[in-house]
Chains A and B, each alone.
Chain A
Amino acid sequence: MEFDPALFIDLFARTFTFWWVILPAIFLGLIVGAIPGFSAANTIIILLPMTLAMDPEVGLIFMVALYASSRMGAGIPAILVNIPGTAGAAATPLDGYPMTKQGRGQQALAISFVSSVFGGLLATIITLLAMPWLSQVAFYLHSVEMIVIMLFGISLIATIAARDTLKGLIAGFFGLMIGYIGADVVYETPRGTFGFLELYDKVPLIPALVGLFAVSEAFFVIEGESILSKRGKEAMQKAGWAATIEGVKIALSKWWHIIWTSMIGLVIGVVPGAGAAIAAFVAYQQSRAFSKTPELYGTGHVEGLIAPESANNGVTSGTLVPLLVIGIPGGATAAIMLVVLQYHGVTMGPDLFMESPELAYGPFAAMAVTYFIMIFTILPLARYMSRITVVSTIYMSPIIISFTLVGAFVPRQYMFDMYLALVFGVIGYVARKTGYHTAAILIGVILGPLLETYFLRALKMSEGDIMVIFSKDLANVLWVGLVISLCIPYAMQRWRAWKAAA
């Protein structure tokens, strides 16, 4: 795993010659990423007969390009119509959608694309250069440490609750309770399933996601003529190419923000079993915690959009590290890639870097080239994509509901999941109408089961000793970091108030 510049130059040059595979994979990835319920993992499964028939190198490039572009695609509906395509994009609408409502949808897309591309590209290059060290991250982040990392994400509930403490906390706890439905991870005992077999494997994320965000949004927007405000509509009608260029400039001016939030994604991505949703929420929470203007988050703040988008793209290369170094896939898509590579007789592990460096480093080269090509192909589309927001809600709402219900059905193909999306839609609608934040509910639904998994595992290992959560040095450092990041916004607010008064 030593750095060999000649090998890398050759590899990149070679990967560029596969543009004919990368380009269709990018467009396919953008489409499947943007449709809720579809994802890189299930698309690769559907296309398995094709990828198995391909040369392993070509198949791998195709899968990686599709994976990277689907991650970016998931952000598009999250920004434009408040529908995150996947759980990894669940934090994107927090600031992306308010921007759209203000008529800045095109700008928001451009910011999202630049953050995703540069975040993803940077994480890929860092992965290539620092593979031996990155592969060690998983040796230090065990269950106890992961509990604290989960709490970084879950503490966003407290942030949301800061605006209306009681309602925020009720929404958060409600989400956590929903997240605990299903069989427990130790004894597989079903809890809170109401006898529904479909809930044994936890509340499925996509129906919850599309229900809380999209279906409730469809119910909500139909009460008005457009999803845009009056001023937003005017701004949207005036928007030309300049809005895209402005978005690119804004994103590039926040280059440091893109760098550090993508690094959060990369580190979390390296841990097997963690994922883009955790990374996006943690990055958002950290971005807000260290912001000079935390009060602007949730209102269409640029940094609130950059953080989740660069973090969830940073995860993409990270999930491939455990797959290639120790043969353990970091996520669902990586697991499917493993099946394809195994079929071709490729054995993962450290030896792969010596025996077939083009296969070991190839995914990262393919990912870097994908991001590079993607920025030129997708940026011009921002202007046209954002036009969807001017469609009247009379047409928009039924379209959203139809698409999202199909999306809810696709991953598991249960009719139950379509009904569940509608139930979550009603919950989301009532929550919005009564001032409860749907994002707080969703954070609980997404991160609650993960927190429980790590917590129960740590408890089982300690044979029931709750103090296990303070038993590791690294975890204790993270605990301190968590407390600091929770206190900083409050302390800074007090300090500014004191300074203003002085």
Chain B
Amino acid sequence: MARTALDNWEKIMFDDYFDELDRRRFLAGSAAVAGAGLLTGLPSAEALANKFPSRNIKVYVPTREGGGADRNLRAFSSIWKKYLKVNFEVSFYPGAAGRVGYEKYMGLAKEDGHDLLFGNMGPEVLNWVVKKPTFNVADLVYFAQMDRDPGIIFVGRKSKFTHIDQIVAEGKKRTIQVGVSRLAHPATLGVLALGRHTGAKFNVIPLSGGKNTRAGVATGEMDCGALPSGGIARRGKNFRILAIFDNTNPIPDKIKDAVLVNKHFGMNLPPLIAGARAFGIKKSVIEKQAHHFKILKDTANMVFNDPEYREVLKKTKVPMALFTKSSSPEEIAKYVKDITAIGEQYRDLLTGKS
């Protein structure tokens, strides 16, 4: 399944399909609206029908309220609504590692561009690697990626471990308990890959979300944890980050003593971006309502460039460097491809079959 999914993602993401379709349909739609308006001097039925958005935007979130997705979505939509001139209605559909929210979106969302999904691409794409959904994953397209937050390994401030080498050394003597948000997660993959490479024994314990994972590490039940960096860096006085699964340290002022896993251990992992929250939309909307999608994409880009948006992000206390300043379909496609590929490598561990 995953191979097919990967092929489809590549097919969707690597051509100029959207832009061509957008331009063609948007121009045709615009011409029709303008023509009708000129003829009558009043908005025609067709013009009204083409008015987008004509109602509030409904957003399906496949996680519980109160988490990182909730926080980021509120920040983004608070500015986006200014450009779209409608409000956002957010519905949370947690369950089965995001599966419920995705299935609900793909099953119920209308194909007019008013219904969007907002999820964390990494864990959710990995989810399809380990368990096939009922829909074709190529029928969902991500856009407007909000953050790029690498997976990290962290410990509590009171932990005896102060360097990743100590954890690896200890892991060669006994099993290290590693709290993770869920098994199918980029940060989990990083831990498993590090264990395989170094021979350290890491036992990943899924704790159902970042909040529980931080609690597991903070209360000492877990030796260490693996999550996106933002939530941990923001709580730097309670936790210490020891390793980063990326080729650069995105927030050197906040993460001072951590090593880059690839460089430190001579590994060749792709950047394991654990926090990559983006909007999703049905591919059919892009095909049938290209001008609607173009409006969504263009206005989302305006949000990225809006100084007010940066101010809202600052209030989240998440390091600003973890938020993207723009979003490109090519980067999203590469990210999805890389995560899917490494997920395939560790499929056995993610499904408990080894």
Contact = CB atoms under 8 A, between A and B. Distances in A.
The winner among B64, B100, B352 for most chain A CB atoms within 10 A is B100
Interface in B73-117: 74, 91, 93-97, 99-100, 103-104
B238 A349 contact: yes
B173 interface: no
B220 interface: yes
B211 A335 contact: yes
B96 A342 contact: no
B316 A197 contact: no
B177 to A, nearest CB: 6
B3 interface: no
Contact of A347 (B131, B235, B352): B235
Contacts of B215: 138, 272-273, 322, 326, 328
Contacts of B234: 347
Interface in A308-337: 322, 326-329, 332, 335-336
A188 B100 contact: no
A413 B182 CA distance: 26
Contacts of A348: 235
Contact of A143 (B99, B203, B218, B221): B221
A192 to B, nearest CB: 13
B287 interface: no
B66 A413 contact: no
The winner among B93, B96, B184, B352 for most chain A CB atoms within 10 A is B96
Contact of A336 (B65, B103, B183): B65
A190 B351 contact: no
* Chain B residues touching A, range: 35 or more
B160 interface: no
A399 interface: no
A223 interface: no
Contacts, number: 118
Contact of B207 (A200, A327, A336, A457): A457
Given A188-B131, A197-B100, A342-B71, A335 B65 contact: yes
B205 A457 contact: yes
Nearest to A188: B97
A190 B134 CA distance: 14
A345 B315 contact: yes
Contacts of A295: none
Given A138-B215, A142-B219, A183 B205 contact: no
A329 B183 contact: no
B317 A183 contact: no
A186 interface: yes
A329 B317 contact: no
A11 interface: no
A201 interface: yes
B66 A200 contact: no
Contacts of A351: 237
A339 B219 contact: no
Which 9 pairs, one residue from A and one from B, show the smallest C-beta to C-beta distance?
A201-B95, A335-B66, A183-B96, A200-B96, A272-B215, A142-B221, A200-B95, A188-B97, A328-B215
24 contacts: A138-B218, A186-B206, A187-B351, A188-B182, A197-B100, A200-B95, A200-B99, A201-B95, A273-B215, A322-B215, A326-B215, A329-B211, A335-B65, A335-B66, A336-B65, A342-B315, A342-B317, A345-B315, A347-B235, A347-B317, A348-B235, A349-B235, A350-B237, A412-B93
